[in-house]
Amino acid sequence: MNNKHPLLAKLEQHEEHFRSNLDQLAAVDVSDLKSIWLYLQASEALMVKVFDAENAGKVPDVGGLEGELEYGPILYMLHHLPENFAWVADVLKVLGMPATGINHQQWNNYVDRLKGEGYYGGDGTLLQGDGSIAYFHKYVQLDPGWAFSAFEYIAYLKDLLGKYKRAEFKTTPVTTTISESDYNELKIALVGDWGTGIWQDGNQPECPSQLVMKQLENLKPDVIIHLGDVYYAGNYGVLGSESGEEYQNFVKRWPTAGAKWSFALNSNHEMYGGGNGYFKVALASDIFKDTQDGSSYFAIDYGDWLILGLDSAYYDTSTLYMNGALYNPKIAKSLKQQQFIKDCAQSAKANGQRLIVLTHHNPLQTNGVLASDEKDRLLWDQLTDNLGYPDYWYWGHIHNGIVYTDKSGAGNNTKCRCVGHGSIPFANGYELEQAHNTGVVDYYAHTPMTGSRTHPLTASQKLRVQNGFAMLTLKGKTLQEEFYETGKSTAVWSKSG
C-alpha cells in the first residue's frame, strides 16, 4: 500500500487560484458539461448494478445500461476527497456537478470486498480500494488518481487556468517505406494502454509495464507501435514537459535501443489535456520525430503490406472521447485524414497490397457485436466507407487482449483484434468468457496472475490476470500473429494467415 499520491502536489499548486475565483466560476457557461455529468451518473448506476449482483453471487445483467464501469466511481470519489482537497468538489459543484447516487450505508456494504479482491466488469475492469488517498491500489478503478484526472479534464475544457489550449492537429502524415531486400521479414510489436510508468505493484519486484516491455524487447522486433493511452491523462506537465505524465510514464520509459522504428497513436486519455502531452512531448521527442513528423496518423509500406496508423481520438465528439471517430465532416482540417485513408486504399489496390489498420478505439463492442446505433458505430462506418474492409484491424482502449472470430460483427470481412492489456490491472471478464464459449472470441487474456514464495500475491491481486502484447511477422503475403502474456516466453495464441 502506498499512501503518497503523485497528483496531490500538482493540485495543491492550484488551490489558492481556485478558492479565490469561486465567485467568478459561477458565471462560466457549463452547458457543455451536462453530457459529462449525465455520463458519470449513468456509469455510477452501472457500477451499483455490478456490485449488487456480484454481492449476490450473480453475473450482472447490464443490458441497455449506458456509461462505462471504469467511470463508475468518479462521482463518489469527487464527493469524498480528503478534507484538504474539498475545494476540488467546491469548484466542480459550481460547474454543475451532481450529487453521487451512493449513500454511506450502500458504500459500507461494498467496502470489505473493495479492500480485498474487489469487483470486476464484463471486460475485466477491476475496482478495488475504498476511493480514499489513504487506501488505494494504483490504476484500478478506485485509484483516486482517476478522480483528480477528471478534475483536470474539466479544467482543460473550461480553460480554468488560462493555459489549456487544444494542441494542433498536424496534417503531415509520413509513409515509412521498408524494403523487403533489407528485411526478408518484418517483425512488428504492438502494445496498447501501456503508459502507466513504473509503479509499486503489491509485493511484486516489477510492475506490468516493466514486465511487458522487457519480454517484448527480448523478441527483437524491428518496429514497436503503441496503440495509445498514457495515464492518468497523458498531460504536458504544469512544471514543464519533463514533469508531465506523457514524459514520465511514456517517453522516458520507451525503449530507445533495439527496434529501428517506433510509432505512437493518439488516445482518449491523452486528449483529456487537449492532446498537449501527446503532440508536444511524445511526437516532438527524438523517438517519434522522424517516423511521424508531428502527425498523429501515418503509414508503413512494406512489400505486400500497407499499414495505416490512424488518429481515432482528436475529432471524436462522444463524451470523454470514448467512442472514437476519424474525422468530423464539419471541420475541413479533419478531412485531411479522411483523404489520407482514401489515398491509401487506392494505393494498396493499385499495388495489390493487403491492409492492416491500427486505431486506439475499438470498432466492435467488447463482446464482438457491431453496434446498431449509428453514433456508436461511427468509427467502423467511417473507416469502411473510405477504405473498404481491411484485412486486419488492431486496437487498444479495452484493457484486454482479444482475438475475434468471423462470428463477430465484422464477419469474415476483417480479422479484428484488441491489444489493450499492456499495463493496466484487470480481471477475467465474464462477458468475454461468454463470447469465448459461443465462439465469437478465439482467445482473450485470462491467465491468473502468479506470485512466488518471496513475492506472494496480495489479497488485492487475487482476481488479477497477466498483462501482455502482440507480435506480427510479415513475410510475403503472409502474416504470423502471436499474442504473449507476461511470465510465458512462448506465445499463448498464434495464427498464420
Q: Tell me the C-alpha distance between 190 and 193, whole Å.
A: 10
| Cell 478522480 found at | 147
Tell me how far apart the alpha carbons of residues 65 and 473 are, in angstroms, rounded to a whole number: 40
Q: What are the residue ranges spanned by the domains of the chain?
A: 8-157, 175-496
CATH of 175-496, one of 3.40.50.150, 3.40.640.10, 3.40.50.2000, 3.60.21.10: 3.60.21.10
Grid coordinates belonging to 342: 482514401
Strands 441-444 and 415-419: unpaired
Give kind and range of the element (H or E) at residue 478: strand 478-485
The predicted model scores a pTM of 0.95
With cell 502531452, the residue in question is 277
Residue 460 to residue 21: CA distance in whole angstroms? 41
Q: Is 445 helix (H, G, I), strand (E, B) or coil?
A: coil
First CA to last CA across the chain, in angstroms?
Answer: 45
User: CB–CB of 120/126 below 8 Å?
Assistant: yes
Q: Which helix (H) or strand (E) holds 443?
A: strand 441-444
Residue 272 backbone dihedrals phi, psi, to 5 degrees: -65, -20
Q: What is the pLDDT along the chain (497 residues), one digit of tens a residue?
A: 334 444 555 566 667 767 666 777 777 888 999 999 999 999 999 999 999 999 999 999 888 888 999 999 999 999 988 777 888 888 899 999 999 999 989 999 998 899 889 999 999 999 998 766 666 788 998 888 888 888 888 888 887 766 668 999 999 999 999 999 999 999 999 999 999 999 999 999 999 999 999 999 999 999 999 999 999 999 998 777 888 999 999 999 999 888 999 999 999 999 999 999 999 999 999 999 999 999 999 999 999 999 999 999 999 999 999 999 999 999 999 999 999 999 999 999 999 999 999 999 999 999 999 999 998 999 999 999 999 999 999 999 999 999 999 999 999 999 999 999 999 999 999 999 999 999 999 999 999 999 999 999 998 899 999 999 999 999 999 999 999 999 999 999 999 99
